Structure 1
Amino acid sequence: MEVTFELGYALDTFYFLMCGALVMWMAAGFAMLEAGMVRAKNTTEILTKNIALFAIACTMYMICGYGLMYGGDDFSLALAGITGDGATGVGEDAATYAPSADFFFQVVFVATAMSIVSGAVAERMKLWAFLTFAVVMTGIIYPMEGAWTWGGEDVFGLYNLADLGFADFAGSGIVHMAGASAALAGVLVLGPRSGKYTAGGKINAIPGANLPLATLGTFILWMGWFGFNGGSVLATASVESANAVAVVFMNTNAAAAGGTIAALLLARVLFKKADLTMALNGALAGLVAITAEPSTPTPLQATLFGALGGMLVVLSIVWLDKRKIDDPVGAISVHGVVGLLGLVLVPVTNSEVALTGQLAGAATIFAWVFVTSMLVWLAIKALLGIRVSAEEEFEGVDASECGLEAYPDFAGSRK
């Protein structure tokens, strides 16, 4: 029996760590996607934001975020001394895994939520203003809403989302909609890029500099999502958990495919062209849509859910543009609007989840993250300033914020 326990412990811990590594690799996906979707003159700064925010997320979640989210007498993981000794249960009949593996898996989710903000505020925000917000988002704002959902705590002592029937398997709302809510607040405070909207309501397209890079980023995210959703099964050492992991992988892939096809077809109908950027966002939308519950749909249902996300993201991007909400990469639509869709779709295949609970959870997450983020953004604007000057924006934030160009050997890289 002891040998069986130790083998299960080792397998579940190793699986947890490998899934965490896949989710960490999503940071590269976000970096490549965003670098491809911005103009060449802003590439170095967006890459700097992505690596810096990941480091900040890891550090802040260690210092206070993990403790805030999952309780305990000591808010600091470092002071609590969680090093890998002991065992954490993952179900009545399942094996166990190392506590430090749980922290590692959780911390890369925090970084994912913050990465969503990066693309939405690209090309006109001050680097240090963004990084200041990252400290608060990853250390306080995200852990608090995580405590009310995955942490099982009452919302300000008033009500418990689990008791209302709220469920979010891997984070359509808890991670993706939360990141998009913070991004929306930032975009509203920041305003659109210069030249994006002109007199008469005209919307000017500002194409990205490197669509091959954006496509590579999307494929990296697609691959990383298997760790994001698959790791949320929390075990793989039993027949039951191994089968669950396989179903989650299968449905995650099916939803991404459905989202890609649907977005591409709808873009063809609306724009008379095969819009690659919409196809890329369609794939991500399909992944976000299935994240709330990838374990109960059939493969066909997962494909259809992804397709709904793919169509919705196209319509949402167009709708936000008409309202002069400038999001260079479509992050608010992909992760926010479709994140809400994912939560609403859960009761379709999971009879134990209530639609009212899903809506209550979504409202709680959005209200907390949006309002607190708005207050933080406004405070940063008053204290540090939030937007680069018009001249710096024209020249590119690479020069003013980083002093480096991503493509220095190419003539006209600042255009």
Structure 2
Amino acid sequence: MKLLSKMSSQKSWIICCFFNFLIASLMGLLMRYLYLFPLNINYSFLLHAHSHVAMLGWAYLMIYVLIVRFYLPKEKGEKPIYSQLFWVTEFAVIGMMVSFPIQGYALFSIVFSTMHILLSYVFCWLVWKDGFKDRTSHHKLLLVAVLFMVFSTLGVWCLGPAVSMLGKQSAFYQIAIQFFLHFQFNGWFLFSVLALFLKQFDDKIEKKAFKIFFILLIVATFLTVAFPISWYVENNLLSWINTIGVVLQLVAFVYFYKMLKPQIAWFKTNLDSTTKIVYGLALCSLFLKTGIQLLVLIPNLGEVSHQIRSFIIGFIHLTTLGIITGFLLGVLIQSKLLSHQSYLLRIGIKCFIFGYIITEVLLFVQGGFLYFGKGPLWGYYEEIFGTSILIVVGLSLITASIFKTKMLPKEVSLNPSNSELTK
């Protein structure tokens, strides 16, 4: 009965994460609706709510669930503190979900945001204490991910002094925001999902290639923060630092490919078609992101890229919907936390991916039109609103499928060769 209760608890966690994701996607759909039919809704407030719920209610909490399930010993992961901490964190997310659309950055939204950060510190301390006894490759990635998560929040703590001393329009304030976002997305989120992805390979990874990949990616993550800083500080040195970081990142992912190449045939053989699709989405998005970062080394393109809104949104969604969500869905399906046999799930995944791909194409084509001075793409707002509906429908179907998914015991491995995962 205790095991069934624990499994049911983790199933409710997953449903909660997808509920947050669905709400964030509905907010995003509403934002695109406002371009077609203006309503008495503050777009900026809604944008804050959308981004916070997507980052902290979906990505953060889903990573939380998977770390507890796959990185903590059974007796540690079943401690009541993890369930209590999850639900208090979800309370903070709901607080942001309600307060941001009403007041934007103000008293209650700041209280709930601060609460989430403090709770994340508790989670990091618990995971560090309970889950970092091993020093395998994927454990090292997760350890660095946790450090990046804590490090990123330095940017948040700088926001108060920045506003009081220089105001919200100051370079200091904007750099603090970019610092937080950079190390959240490229540090905490990216390193976490890569750790979960590489966990299934266990000791099959060639250690020398991993070491080079690991070190280069850490260094590149620190160096590439120079790019968003360069938007607010004019200094040629920042451009050179970012260039070095982007090149190191490219080399890191070359070693990432070399590290996985001997295992690709084995890996593909043991995966069902749905899992292959979502992992393919994640890996293609990852290499596309690296390619885009190389493109913005072109001086003129780098200077205007952050001024064209569709480029910015396209790049953010490439990271959040393509890379982070792609890897998370892959791990969830592979570990049977989502059932690949569910018709609802398969249709939902296809709707989500199709909607994601078409909206990305529209965003980057629109950005290209604006960059080359050809004006907006004809029918852009109608088209991107229509295709965004597919994302909402896809997430709705995926969420509905979870209710019919039977949770497997915690002992089930993430390794795809495990007979429980592949039969």
Q: Shorter-chain TM-score: which interval? A: 0.3 to 0.5
TM-score, scaled to structure 1: 0.33
Asked which structure has the greater RCO (Cα within 8 Å, sep 6+), the reply is 1
